[in-house]
């Protein structure tokens, strides 16, 4: 099974937003479904760059992660505008 890592920035954002439960549930789904393209649609995984992906915890909140062989590293979470701002400065 693919492993999941969470950066310090990601943990802080999730904790401060009080979204630990919904993010935890989404992380499990991504871990189980990543690499199975038909499952990606159901868990809202979208490729944004060569190794950068996003998934949604709901309609308004997104999780950004980098996929490398055997590991998914979650680095950022936020709404559409926050994610766009993050991507402009990091991708």
pLDDT of residue 24: 94
C-alpha 57/C-alpha 23 separation (Å) is 6
Domain that holds residue 46: 3-90
Give me the number of domains the chain comprises: 1
How many CB atoms are located within 10 Å of the residue 46 CB? 12
C-alpha 35/C-alpha 16 separation (Å) is 30
- The pTM (predicted TM-score) of the whole model is 0.90
The CATH number covering residue 48 comes to: 3.30.2310.20
pLDDT of residue 26: 92
C-alpha 91/C-alpha 87 separation (Å) is 5
User: Could you tell me the two tokens for 81?
Assistant: 């505008």
Q: What is the pLDDT along the chain (91 residues), one digit of tens a residue?
A: 789 999 999 999 999 999 999 999 999 989 888 877 665 556 788 999 899 999 999 888 999 999 999 999 999 999 999 999 999 987 6
């Amino acid at each position: 099974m693919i492993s999941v890592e969470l950066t310090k920035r990601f943990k802080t954002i999730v904790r401060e937003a009080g979204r630990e439960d919904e993010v935890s549930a989404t992380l499990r789904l991504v871990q189980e479904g990543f690499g199975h393209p038909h499952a990606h649609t159901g868990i809202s995984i979208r490729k944004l760059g060569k190794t950068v992906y996003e998934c949604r915890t709901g309609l308004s909140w997104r999780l950004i992660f980098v996929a490398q062989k055997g590991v998914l590293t979650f680095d950022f979470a936020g709404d559409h505008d926050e994610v766009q701002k993050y991507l402009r400065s990091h991708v």
